[in-house]
Amino acid sequence: MASLEIAIVIGGLLASFTVCAVKIIHQIQNSKCRFIRCCGNECVRDTTIDLPEAEVQVPKPPSAQQVQSPRRFTKTPTLSVPRPSVKKLQTIFEK
């Protein structure tokens, strides 16, 4: 059982060291410094790179005068619907 506990402790320490190293490298890569000196390494970064600006075309929303729904119906609907009589329905279904 002691070997399992030692393996867990060593794995935890190794994982902690790896996370710390990744965080340090991430901070160095995202820094805005021009000259970096760390752990005996030196790096000169060119931060004056001019990137072309992207032109964005923003469509204008239509005004209230331009937005008019076309009328599909010219007649106004009425509530008087002709209903067939029982005799008419009976003749239809008997055919």
Domains of the chain by residue range: 1-46
In this prediction the pTM is 0.37
Supply the pLDDT for residue 49.
64
pLDDT mean over 11-32 = 89
pLDDT mean over 68-72 = 59
Higher pLDDT, 88 or 49: 88
Supply the pLDDT for residue 81.
66
Residues 6+ apart with CB under 8 A from 47: 32, 34
- Cα dihedral 18, 24, 26, 30 in deg (nearest 10): 180
